[in-house]
Amino acid sequence: MEALLSGQVEPGDVVVIRYEGPRANGMPEMYFATAIVAADPRLSHTTAVVTDGRYSGAAKGPAVGHVTPEALDGGPIALVENGDLIEIHIPERRLDLVGVQGRRLEVHQMTEVLATREASWVAPPPRHTSGILSVYSRVAGGSDSGASLT
């Protein structure tokens, strides 16, 4: 939100909001990020928002939600860094990391980059340490299975 509100997001960027999935934060609505993008004439037709959180029917513009596996589970969304290239294939329902530092890489190169990042990735501490969200975060499934209790 800070990057969007302060003008740090440039046309063509993909804004990645992670650690908002069912286990990380209960899967809150990400409406405000899409509303900010939609309200900015520079960004409204060029910028996507990608999250492991969720959207309601009120979301505006290019938005990809419910990304699984979520970041807390070490999904690829946890490994994205500033400057990475992300391709969104709407007809194929695919989201791909295709490059780093603004440079496109071959599939095998990208696989190596992600393996290196994954080897040093550490899950953040739980956001909720007591209460119902604490219980939910320990037992919820991914959003691809309805985020139901397992």
Which active-site residues does the annotation give?
Answer: 56
Beta strands, E only, 70-109: 85-89, 94-100, 103-104
> Can you tell me the distance from the alpha carbon of 34 to that of 62, in angstroms, rounded to the nearest whole number?
8
- Token couple for 110: 């990208």
CA 3, chain centre distance (Å): 15
Phi-psi group of 147: left, alpha or beta (phi > 0 → left; psi -120 to 50 → alpha; rest → beta): left
DSSP letter for each residue of 96-119 = EEEEETTEE--HHHHHHHHHHHHH
Nearest to 33, CA basis, from 16, 52, 46, 13: 16
